[in-house]
Amino acid sequence: MEDKKTVLLHCAKELFAAKGFKDTNVADITKRADFSVGTFYNYYPSKDKLFAEILKEETAALMKRIMKSVNLEDDPAKLIKRLLILNMEGMRSNPILNQWYNPDVYNKIEKLFREENGLQAMDFLYRDFLKLVQKWQTEGKLRPDISSEMIMAIFEAIIRIGYHKEEIGLQYFPDLQNHLADFVLKGLTDYSKKETV
């Protein structure tokens, strides 16, 4: 039974990467897997749920690669900037994760995560980053007067601004995100330096 589920997931991943979430349907997935449409529904209640599972796997793999590729002992401002850049580059270079930049797809799948798992549903994206932020706050390297969750929300806002490139103006990207990250990091780290002087 698990083999069929794995085949469906693998076929769906190929199709989502090639055609995108919106242009892939259940019939496409089952045709590629050489299964009936009914077989699909034995394992997944919807295409959305399957896509959400694939996104979760791809995101976890990206986060694992990112965390292995950085020096966690680096200066917080330098490390956070590097983490943000690696996250944005990783999402843009992965055809499945890149679909987060489509507001329709993002809103639909994020809503699914939150409906099923509550407000903490997206924590899998940021768990390792959150632990780092909390560690730096404890060490006095980042502002202690802003909650670690709020700091993570600020970082998420920097990433999410990429979803609005067309509205803001494509000519400003990626420089706009880089400048925002610099300003935020300066505010988070300079404050901690002033407080300890």
- DSSP calls for 127-187: HHHHHHHHHHHHTTSS-SSS-HHHHHHHHHHHHHGGGGHHHH-GGGTTHHHHHHHHHHHHH
Rounded CA-CA distance 98/89 in Å is: 9
Q: What was the pLDDT predicted at 23?
A: 94
- Report which listed range, 106-110, 118-122, 138-142, is most confident: 138-142
Q: What was the pLDDT predicted at 109?
A: 77
Contacts of 18 (CB under 8 A, 6+ apart): 95
Query: What is the tens place of the pLDDT at every residue in 43-97?
Result: 999 999 999 899 889 988 998 898 899 998 898 888 888 888 888 889 889 999 8
Determine contact, residues 142/151, Cβ cutoff 8 Å.
Answer: yes
Domains and CATH numbers, the chain: 1-44 (1.10.10.60), 54-196 (1.10.357)
> What is the pLDDT averaged over residues 88-110?
82
CA–CA distance from 124 to each of 3, 35, 105, 146, 155 (Å)? 26, 31, 18, 21, 15
Give 120 or 181, the one with higher predicted confidence: 181
Query: What is the tens place of the pLDDT at every residue in 123-176?
Result: 545 667 788 899 999 999 999 999 998 998 898 888 878 778 888 998 998 899
Confidence of residue 197 (pLDDT cuts 50, 70, 90): very low
Q: What was the pLDDT predicted at 28?
A: 97
Q: What was the pLDDT predicted at 146?
A: 95
Helix/strand/coil for 102: coil
Rounded CA-CA distance 46/4 in Å is: 16
